[in-house]
Structure 1
Amino acid sequence: MKPIIYKRGSTLDELDQIRTLQLQNSSENITSEEKLQEGFVTVQHTVALLEQMNLACAHIIAKDNDVVVGFALVMLSSFRNEIEVLIPLFERIDRLVPKDKTFIVMGQICVAKNYRKQGIFRGLYHFYREQLQHEFDYLITEVAAINLRSMQAHEAVGFKTIDNYKEDEIIWNIMLWDWT
């Protein structure tokens, strides 16, 4: 068996596979039990938006041969108004991050069901840091407080909750990984 390869997204096929993985793990498409045990993704991107984001700063993906089995989206602040549900996050980041610090937003992370508990989540984040720590001081994301699996996984990598807010009955934790 070939090892999992971590790389930056570079083809339209890879972006299509990210979109498919998103849909398979969307909170709308899985059971309540799966949400609790496995975690979930909230935002769904179009392939066109994934491509725009990828051209600005390529996404991080994990591949098993030709199959994308995990992804961590890279979102520059220039995309702050492209996804309405993320606007409150960026508004809070503006108040939380010192003006002399640079940051990037981890737009979403997901590992295919058959590949979980194999270190791919951690592998995606370590590759993310390796690729981008020389350009940015912080990596910031937000995780729904009810998504306990994701909260624990992010804390294990090195993220710390720096703020939270309530939007549409969901409590969101803003999490920061300090790369300085």
Structure 2
Amino acid sequence: MEIRYAVPSDLNGLLNLLKDNHINSIPEEEKKNGFITTNITKEQLYSLMENEKGITVAVNDSNHVIGFALAGSWNFWQSWPLFTYMIEHLESFKLNDQILTVENSYQYGPVCIDKQYRNTGIFEKLFSFSLKSMADHYPYMITFINQVNPRSYAAHTKKAKMTESGTFDWNNNHYWLMAIQTK
């Protein structure tokens, strides 16, 4: 297994993993194991990969994508309504008494691991690589977690050591806003 920046040949694998783990694709009984809510196109993934170096992938020995973490500037994410909402309210959140802003933070996520590779340490490796990849540009990483996704919350608080900086509601969903220093 290797953790690295994504390359164009990874795009189809990324899209397949996104589709297979999207909230609209998985049965209700499997949602307790985690899910993704963000819709993103191949063109948007390519832009994130090329312009922001914002896609970290885990690949198996056959170079097949088995996990990923997305990260990008707020400028990249602003075309999605949820992220626009977050941008508008970001400065109401703090980490270590520091107000979080679009200038001092970036958005991390979604992150996803293929089912057969979960609980193997890949999440921690993806998270660490992604965190370090943006550390020279931003002092804070931010993500949000739907409160009906306790698996993600546990992974980000226990394994990634992120701090809950508050909660917010959007589109009839309740979210935790999580943050961590990049260095």
- Do these two structures clear the TM 0.5 threshold for a shared fold by scoring above it? yes
CA distance 1:68–1:100, shift in 2 (3 Å): closer
Q: Give yes or no for the alignment of 1:17 onto 2:16.
A: no
What corresponds to 1:88 in structure 2? 85
8 Å CA contact retained: 2:90, 2:102: no
What corresponds to 2:28 in structure 1? 32
| Counterpart mapping for 1:1-180 below 5 A | 4-11=1-8, 13-36=9-32, 38-58=33-53, 59-65=55-61, 66-96=63-93, 97-98=99-100, 102-156=104-158, 157-180=160-183
- Segments of 5+ residues of structure 1 without an aligned counterpart are none
Q: Measure, in 2, the Cα distance between the counterparts of 1:155 and 1:85.
A: 22
Matched to 1:129, the amino acid is: L
What corresponds to 2:96 in structure 1? none
TM-score of the pair, normalised by structure 2: 0.89
- State the identity %: 22
SS in 2 for 1:164: strand
Point out the more displaced range, 89-98 or 131-140: 89-98
- Segments of 5+ residues of structure 2 without an aligned counterpart are 94-98
Q: Measure, in 1, the Cα distance between the counterparts of 2:88 and 2:28.
A: 30
Point out the more displaced range, 123-132 or 67-76: 123-132
- 1:131-178, CA deviations, whole angstroms, 9 ceiling, x for partnerless residues? 222222011000001100000100011111112111222101110012
Matched to 2:128, the amino acid is: H
- Two-structure CA RMSD over aligned residues (Å): 1.7
Q: Measure, in 2, the Cα distance between the counterparts of 1:103 and 1:167.
A: 20
Q: Measure, in 1, the Cα distance between the counterparts of 2:102 and 2:167.
A: 23
8 Å CA contact retained: 2:132, 2:182: no
8 Å CA contact retained: 1:102, 1:136: yes
Matched to 1:47, the amino acid is: K
- 1:2-41, CA deviations, whole angstroms, 9 ceiling, x for partnerless residues? xx10001121x212211110000001111222111x1000
Counting matched residue pairs gives 175
Q: Measure, in 2, the Cα distance between the counterparts of 1:161 and 1:21.
A: 27
SS in 1 for 2:109: strand
Q: Measure, in 2, the Cα distance between the counterparts of 1:99 and 1:138.
A: 9
SS in 1 for 2:40: coil
